[in-house]
Structure 1
Amino acid sequence: MRFLRMKRGSVMVERVVVAIDGGPASTAALDWALARAKVQPVSLELTTVVEFGWAPAGGPDDDFRPIYERALADATRRVEQEAPDIKKTSYVRRGVPADELVRASASADLLVVGTNKTGVLAGAVYGTLPLRLAAHSRCPVVVVPTVWVPSAGSIAVGLEDDATAEGALAFAAGEASRLGRVLDVVHAWSIPATIAVEYGAIIPFHDLQEAHAAILAEAADRVRTAHPGLDVREVLEHGPAAMVLVDASGEAEMVVVGTHGRGAVGSLFLGSVSHDVLLNLKCPVAVIPRPERLPDYPVEP
């Protein structure tokens, strides 16, 4: 992916695609995007996808394209009323929602989608679609729950000891710096199911804990070096990573996770941590594609 932010004068403008379908999930996504526009210059692309052969609940069985067009028109009017200075475009796409939104992500900095995984079906942007988008998107995906309300909590980033860490750390640090928030670097660890053995002796619990603390400290120091003045907290927890991050999402303004997404099967399941966090999110979650999808993603602020 190229780094796509445009310049307006000397200010970088972020290209944000918002998925619209007229339901509460897409309302939450647009709420979040408009809130972001108050603190970050953005260019909005409002996109709805008409899927052939499928009609939204309660809609007509034959000609339901006008429903999507009205939803898009309503969203466009709302942007004009609440943020008239924002550059915006509106698109009606035809095809499979996940495929069309992934195509849209190729020319975006962010793809924003709502989720209403426990509510009544209200449109296309719900359920497993955010999982599929997060797995395949060419840019970071922000998944916004319908219960979202603006807050000023910390930015929490899940740190795994693998190649997904750098992109997630860079994105989260950039968010925390821009918003003036604390950055919580969260690293969860647990004793493997197969007891670790070295030279015939069981590795002590304390030694395992220290090893993971060192991984966390090294990552936090890299962020501090790249973002001087940023308040970075190291959070080391013993337990399943997904559970730890879901707990963190109760107090955080945003949770940031990376995804593995290797191949058709791997990308479907994202990686167990990202998958489980998205199914239990309490605040917006940003999913950062694997490093090879973001070769030019900036580490420096």
Structure 2
Amino acid sequence: MAEDVIVAIDGGPASNAAVDWMLDRARTATLSVELTTVVELDWAPAGGPEDDFHIVYERALSEAGRRVDEAAPTLRKTSVVRRGSPVEELIRASTRADLLVIGTNKRTGFLAGAVYGTLPLRLAAHARCPLVVVPANWTRSDGPVVAGAEDDRSSDVALDFAAREAARLGRGLVIVHAWTIPATLGLDDGSIVPFDALQEAHEEILALAAGRIRAAHPGLEVAPVLEQGPAAPTLVEASQMAALLVVGTHGRGAVAGLILGSVSHDVLLNMPCPIAVVPRPAPPPVTAM
């Protein structure tokens, strides 16, 4: 069955990188691709005719389609122009996709609502399918897939996604678990911090996560890595040569930063490689008794 992939297009180098990443994926997966651009109706260049401005979006979409046709002429694709808020339209599109792919850079693009800046963070917090954010300077890497393991089972969905990606690519999977000494432990009462006991507890957390993945993917090379320190810098450092870094979200709520989680937020601001943000599944509905 083909994987439904949506690639956001804004005509800049970031979305070009997103298209290139998708084309690379098409080498090892069967894809059905939608190239989409969002015309933000609330904004247009001062003094510029609105219709002319819309042509810029359509031209960017057409150019992306041409690049796909040249690189992968048999790839099934469609091109869609959406109108509205880029965040809202892409979140809506994600409800029927298996993967949403966007590019990112910190430079100012020529389209309002272009795929850079805060858009990846907002999409990562609310997308209904895994979101892959591709840096504008992306080049193909033969490195492993890296994923972060949390203290609890909240990262299981992200780890499962990472394992499937590693198996698809024929790469190893590096599972990173970072731990710190709780700030309130032993500060006021003069007690000795049980360092060895804490480390052993986190070693067990990592071993359980790695064991579960090995059992589900017997042929996959899994390398567990335990590090003491903040999680986000540890993951960024571990992913410098990675093909993909996979992180999870903390579910959905009222505040985007809390939904996404500080670790995912921070790695998206310090991207060492493409990052996949995998949402946790929605809890089952509560049935009235």
Structure 2 length-normalised TM: 0.92
Q: Do 2:250 and 2:258's aligned partners in 1 also have CA atoms closer than 8 Å?
A: no
Q: Distance in 1 between matches of 2:37 and 2:27?
A: 23
Are residue 19 (structure 1) and residue 8 (structure 2) matched? Answer: yes
How many angstroms does 1:24 deviate by?
A: 1.0
Residue in structure 1 matched with residue 249 of structure 2 by the alignment: 259
1:284 aligns with 2:271: no
Indicate the residue corresponding to 1:185 in structure 2. Answer: 175
What is the root-mean-square deviation of aligned Cα atoms in Å? 2.2
Summarize the Cα distance change of 1:268–1:206 in structure 2 as closer, same or farther, 3 Å threshold. Answer: closer
* Equivalent of 2:27 in 38, 44, 69: 38
User: Is the Cα contact below 8 Å between 1:241 and 1:273 reproduced in 2?
Assistant: yes
Distance across 2 between alignment mates of 1:25 and 1:250: 19
Alignment length (residue pairs): 281
Q: 2:131 aligns with which of 125, 141, 144?
A: 141
Q: Deviations over 1:188-222 (max 9, x none)?
A: 0011111169x995441111111101000000000
C-alpha separation in 2, matches of 1:188 and 1:248:
11
CA contact under 8 A between 1:257 and 1:286: conserved in structure 2?
A: yes
1:248 Cα deviation (Å)? 1.6
Amino acid at match of 1:219: A
Name the SS of the counterpart of 1:18 in structure 2.
Answer: strand
- Residue of structure 1 equivalent to 2:17: 28
- Give me the whole-angstrom Cα distance separating, in 1, the residues matched to 2:257 and 2:277: 12
Deviation at 1:253, TM superposition (A): 0.8
Counterpart Cα distance in 1 of 2:238 and 2:167:
19
Q: Does 1:77 align with 2:60?
A: no
Matched, 1:89 2:78: yes
Instruction: State the 1:77 CA deviation.
Output: 1.2
Please state how far the C-alpha of 1:162 moved relative to its aligned partner: 3.0
Alignment correspondent of 1:4: none
Q: What secondary structure does 1:164 align onto?
A: helix
C-alpha distance in structure 1 between counterparts of 2:249 and 2:203, whole Å: 22
Q: Which of 225, 237, 252 is equivalent to 1:235?
A: 225
Name the structure 2 match of 1:54: 43
The 1-side partners of 2:201 and 2:78 are apart by 50
Gaps of 5+ in 2: none
Of the three residues 92, 108, 116, the one matched with 1:120 is: 108
Q: Which residue is 2:201 aligned to? A: 211
Q: Does 1:153 align with 2:143?
A: yes
Relative distance call for 1:268 and 1:79 in structure 2 (3 A) is farther
Given that 2:125 and 2:252 are in contact with CA atoms closer than 8 Å, whether structure 1 keeps it comes out as: no
Structure 1 residue 81: Cα displacement: 1.2
Deviation for aligned residue 1:268: 6.1
Distance 1:52 1:163 in 2: 42
Per-residue deviation, residues 237-267 of structure 1 (Å, max 9, x unmatched): 0110000011122111100000114312156
Q: Is the 8 A contact 1:15 1:44 kept in 2?
A: yes
Contact 1:25 1:114 in 2 (8 A): yes
SS in 2 for 1:120: coil
Matched-pair contact (CA < 8 Å) for 2:38–2:84: yes
Is the CA contact (8 Å cut-off) linking 1:261 and 1:267 kept in structure 2? Answer: no
Q: Equivalent residue for 1:3?
A: none
- Supply the AA of the counterpart residue of 1:148: W
Contact residue 15 and residue 110 of structure 1 kept, 8 A: yes
Question: Is the CA contact (8 Å cut-off) linking 2:122 and 2:256 kept in structure 1?
Answer: no
1:224 matched to 2:214: yes
Alignment match, 1:10: none
Indicate the percent of aligned positions where both proteins have the same amino acid.
Answer: 63
Q: 1:54-88 CA distances to partner (integer Å, 9 max, x unpaired)?
A: 237x9946331100000001111111111011110
